[in-house]
Structure 1
Amino acid sequence: MRLRATPFAVLALAGTLAGFATPAAALDKITIMVGGVEKQIYLPAKLAERLGYFKDEGLEVEVLSEPSGVDAENELLAGNVQAVVGFYDHCIDLQAKGKFVQSVVQFSQAPGEVELVSTKHPEIKSAADFKGKSLGVTGLGSSTNFLTQYLAMKHGIKPGEFTTLPVGAGATFIAAMQQDKIQAGMTTEPTISRMLKTGEAAILIDMRTVEKTKEALGGTYPAASLYMSTAYVETHKEEVQKLANAMVKTLKFIATHSGAEIAEKMPKDYYAGDKDMYIKALDDGKAMFTADGVMPAGGPETVLAVLSSFSKNVQGKRIDLEKTYTTQFVKAAK
């Protein structure tokens, strides 16, 4: 079910005919699609809703979920939603295809992703051992797929020498590794902690902190963000500012509260049956989030360098990075 604009003109006419004043304007309605709402990397979207920050801004926001970032992106391009919570790299990839979207609030400065390797395959000691393997990603065309291709290329593995298999996250990712459909794969919390706890997987490449991300990718890598079509941003500045206000307030909440305090605000099913594990993952990983929603300096350049190294969509294209994000709204946030 998709949200539709309230027919204000009809309401106004009805009020006039009845001899009463026009009803008060309804809350501004916005639908946000998240590429896996239960993932901790996308925590701000659901947390803002749970804290009531959207309503505080006069917004009626519906937070929906798709299995991967590329699915969420497709919903935005189809006009079914007004915003996406997904990786910033989609803003660059889409510009290379002639479509303009921009990060309005930058949630994180590190991917928060880990390349896990099945403990059934001790022969995989680095990305150089990906040859001939099936590697799990959330979806084809997703950011996990982008990063997997880059890491393989960086370690001398050519396209076609490995397979990427879309397996989502959570239970579907875990099942794929248990059944040996994938020998390694990229995922996020709380899936990471669940597999480490059972001993079914080990960490091969860790990108949950800025420092480790720089080691793996060569620089700060802005990842989770709230992005919207440039046309929508330019024509709905009031609504975008309200969204930015709510999201920046949420990022400040994350920065100033413990994992336990944050977990108390989240739906219990997000704990995946282990609240203590969920809290520990939050405490260990929440430094990935920005405190103010501002794009980190040098980040867009790192993302462009990563995509340009393997993506035929981006190679040879002139990308105007300044059009892939804006800090206008976060800097003006209350």
Structure 2
Amino acid sequence: MRKFLLALAATAAFAGPALAEPVRISVGSFNLNNLPFPVAVGLGLYEQEGLDVTVENFASGGSKTLQALVAGSTDIAVGFYDHTIQMQAQNKNVVAFVQLARNSGLVLAGGRSSTFDPDKPETIKGAKIGITAPGSSSDFFVRYYLQRHGLAADDVSLIGVGSGSAAVAALEQGKVDLLVNYDPAATFIEAKGVGTILIDGRSDDGAREIYGGIYPTSVLYATQSYIDAHPQTIQKVTNATVKALAWIKAHSAEEIVDKLPQQFISGDRDTYVKAVEKAKAIFSADGLFDAKDVETPLTVLRTFNEKVAAAKIDLSKTYTNKFVLDAPRAVAN
């Protein structure tokens, strides 16, 4: 993966124009919720906008990316929308400006020896549950599930296992009893016979069952101060990303995978193509935020996050549609 990131950075630096504008973009993981970002990189769309993108991957989860953004060590983050709400509760202005995934895509999978039965929520007690990282949306998923069913956070053990093949390995090796993760991990689990999907949030119906509504996840976000200081940079990043979203919608899973560097493809290619096909439904078609949908993460966070519950949250300040509305609508070939 490190070689892949170096290759991405080198490609951006080599292919970009002499006066390309540098921008640092960090990504929490290369799960499929974030797929529009590497697709935009693979299609050369950021370079076409005159950007020299340096990519950093925090494979342990989105919370590390958020920390980097707030600390100023990255300019833009590919992370989850609910982090913007958390930051507002801490009086930090982090704003999402492109929606990549309009739905969670999370699944809860049980290993071969798991005794958890979703029809009997109390059977989750004592389970070791793998999540991408503490403070991540997979963490929120578990906590909200426990809260909804009258269970306490200490009824289970939460263990950070990352995403992708590392997460699948943790379930396969019995390091965790249950795993909350995204595609491609979800598809790999079924394809390898490692476990069974017990709760599936990849569809709109699944999201409504879990959260009570559509739960927007992967977005591009930045601090308000960076957006104010670099509006043209944000617009260029938005232009490229919106083109990537349109391109994904218009192309097959096979064609999408063809545009990705080989190092990005986890496991065998055929299974990865199947994972992309299953994940396509979660991607935004246009990058715009829906005022009703963003209420769902706030409802979830308020159930167990004391700072969010105590704060007066203004959701209109956690996202903006301005840059997407100003982006050209041409589809990349």
TM (norm. structure 1) is 0.89
Runs of at least 5 residues in structure 2 that lack an aligned partner in the other structure? 1-16, 329-333
- For 2:108 and 2:157, the matched residues in 1 are separated by 15
- Equivalent residues of 1:220, 1:296 under 8 A apart: no
Task: Tell me how far 1:147 sits from its aligned partner.
Answer: 1.4
| Structure 1 residues 269 and 313: alpha-carbon distance in aligned structure 2, compared to 1, 3 A threshold | same
- For 1:269 and 1:25, the matched residues in 2 are separated by 27
Task: Tell me how far 1:64 sits from its aligned partner.
Answer: 1.6
Q: Which residue of 2 aligns with 1:139?
A: 133
- Aligned residue identity for 1:326: T
- Equivalent residues of 1:104, 1:226 under 8 A apart: yes
- For 2:172 and 2:45, the matched residues in 1 are separated by 40
Q: Which deviations, in whole Å up to 9, do the C-alpha atoms of 1:207-233 show, x marking residues without a partner?
A: 112221111110111100001101111
Task: Tell me how far 1:133 sits from its aligned partner.
Answer: 1.2
Q: Which residue of 1 aligns with 2:10?
A: none
Q: Which residue of 2 aligns with 1:209?
A: 203
- Aligned residue identity for 1:52: G
> Is residue 2:266 matched to residue 1:266?
no
Q: Which residue of 1 aligns with 2:11?
A: none
Q: Which residue of 2 aligns with 1:88?
A: 81
Of residues 239-248 and 119-128 in structure 1, the stretch that sits farther from structure 2 once superposed is 119-128
The alignment partner of 1:181 has SS state of coil
Q: Which deviations, in whole Å up to 9, do the C-alpha atoms of 1:226-258 show, x marking residues without a partner?
A: 011011111111110011000000000011100
- For 2:173 and 2:192, the matched residues in 1 are separated by 15
- For 1:95 and 1:31, the matched residues in 2 are separated by 23
- Aligned residue identity for 1:49: V
47, 56, 64: which is aligned to 2:48? Answer: 56
Task: Tell me how far 1:259 sits from its aligned partner.
Answer: 0.3
Q: Which residue of 1 aligns with 2:4?
A: none
Q: Which residue of 1 aligns with 2:111?
A: 118
> Is residue 2:186 matched to residue 1:184?
no
Q: Which deviations, in whole Å up to 9, do the C-alpha atoms of 1:62-119 show, x marking residues without a partner?
A: 2221020001111111111101101100000111111110111011110111111112
Of residues 279-288 and 123-132 in structure 1, the stretch that sits farther from structure 2 once superposed is 123-132
Displacement over 6 Å in runs of 4+: none
Q: Which residue of 1 aligns with 2:164?
A: 170
- Equivalent residues of 2:101, 2:219 under 8 A apart: yes
Of residues 217-226 and 166-175 in structure 1, the stretch that sits farther from structure 2 once superposed is 166-175
Sequence identity percentage:
36
Task: Tell me how far 1:123 sits from its aligned partner.
Answer: 4.0
- Equivalent residues of 1:106, 1:294 under 8 A apart: yes
Runs of at least 5 residues in structure 1 that lack an aligned partner in the other structure? 1-23
Task: Tell me how far 1:198 sits from its aligned partner.
Answer: 1.7
> Is residue 2:52 matched to residue 1:47?
no
- For 1:128 and 1:320, the matched residues in 2 are separated by 35
> Is residue 2:303 matched to residue 1:313?
no
Task: Tell me how far 1:172 sits from its aligned partner.
Answer: 2.4
- Aligned residue identity for 2:172: Q
- For 1:257 and 1:296, the matched residues in 2 are separated by 24
- For 1:190 and 1:25, the matched residues in 2 are separated by 37
Q: Which residue of 1 aligns with 2:9?
A: none
Of residues 272-281 and 260-269 in structure 1, the stretch that sits farther from structure 2 once superposed is 272-281
Task: Tell me how far 1:186 sits from its aligned partner.
Answer: 0.8
The alignment partner of 1:173 has SS state of helix
Q: Which residue of 2 aligns with 1:104?
A: 97
Q: Which residue of 1 aligns with 2:68?
A: 75
- Aligned residue identity for 2:274: K
TM (norm. structure 2) is 0.90
The alignment partner of 1:299 has SS state of coil
Matches within 5 A, 1:248-287: 248-287=242-281
- Aligned residue identity for 2:20: L
> Is residue 2:26 matched to residue 1:33?
yes
> Is residue 2:228 matched to residue 1:234?
yes
